Amino acid sequence: MYCAAGQLAEDDWFGNRTGSAEFDAFLSVVGQKIRLRGWTGYAAGLDTKCMPATLLGSPPVHSPNLWRRLIRSPGNTGEFTVVNDSTLAGYEVTYHVSTLLPYIEGDSQQIQRKRHIGN
C-alpha cells in the first residue's frame, strides 16, 4: 500500500493511482513485476486469464447491478503485480499492490482494491 506524505485517511491511500520512485524501488527489492495474463505461478486470487476491464464514469442509474457485475468480472485485478519467486522456504509470494490494482473512477472508497488488500 502506497501512502504519500501527508496522507492520513484510508480513502487517500486507496485513491493513489501511482506510487513514488522510492515505492517502485521498494517493490523491485521485494519481487519482480510480472504480467498477470498467462501467469502460471501463485496468483493470490488475482486474475490471470483475462485482460483488465475498463470502467469509466459512474454507475448508470438504470443498471447498477450490471455495473457491479462488471466491477467483479474477470480481468479486473489489473495487468501487473509483484511476485517473489525465489521461493522463500519453498513458497512463492505474490503481492497485492494498491497502485497496480485498477482504479475505479467514481468509487471514493475503491472497494475493488480493498477487496484484495483489506483481507
CATH number for the domain that contains residue 79: 3.40.50.11210
Is the CB of residue 117 less than 8 Å from the CB of residue 45? no
pLDDT at 76: 76
Domain count within the chain: 1
The answer to whether position 36 is within a domain reads: yes
Q: What is the pTM of this model?
A: 0.76
The answer to whether position 1 is within a domain reads: no
The answer to whether position 92 is within a domain reads: yes
pLDDT at 50: 75
pLDDT at 5: 96
pLDDT digits (tens, 9 = 90+) for 15-72: 999 999 999 999 999 999 999 988 999 999 999 987 555 444 455 555 555 445 454 4
The answer to whether position 5 is within a domain reads: no
9 has pLDDT over 70: yes
Query: 31 lies in which domain range?
Result: 10-117
The answer to whether position 60 is within a domain reads: yes
In order of 43, 52, 73, the CA distances from 63 in angstroms are 31, 21, 15
The answer to whether position 22 is within a domain reads: yes
- Cβ neighbour number for residue 44 with a 10 Å cutoff: 14
The answer to whether position 71 is within a domain reads: yes
pLDDT digits (tens, 9 = 90+) for 72-119: 444 679 999 999 977 667 788 999 999 999 999 889 899 989 999 986
The answer to whether position 4 is within a domain reads: no
